[in-house]
Amino acid sequence: GEDVEQSLFLSVREGDSSVINCTYTDSSSTYLYWYKQEPGAGLQLLTYIFSNMDMKQDQRLTVLLNKKDKHLSLRIADTQTGDSAIYFCAESTGFKTIFGAGTRLFVKA
């Protein structure tokens, strides 16, 4: 079945870059997503990439997709304390979206 895996924790210093990695199993996914969850809130879409793209850049965010290795990464440049949150990788398969376990990003001032 479909599966999405990502590491559970990442700690960086303020101003450094953060890189969160994810692997997925369903090669037929049309879109891959990064969602952000702040404490006590629901998830919000941060960015997404279409499966025929290799890279997408959106201000401080860079998404890289390696379809051969089924690997997705999210780079946050100049990480700020406000970026502290849980980041979920997800893939869309038909009617369903499958999520990874989430990576909790800690940003040290």
Binding site for another protein (CB under 8 A): 4, 8, 30-31, 33, 35, 40-45, 48, 88, 92, 95-102
Least separation in angstroms between residue 66's CB and another protein is 21
Is 99 or 106 the residue whose CB approaches another protein more closely? 99
Q: How far apart are CA 90 and CA 81, in angstroms?
A: 24
Question: Is the CB of 96 or the CB of 109 nearer to another protein?
Answer: 96
With beta carbons less than 8 A apart as the criterion, state whether 98 and 91 touch: yes
Strands 85-93 and 103-108, by their bridges, are antiparallel
In the bound state with another protein, the residue whose beta carbon lies nearer, of 55 and 101, is 101
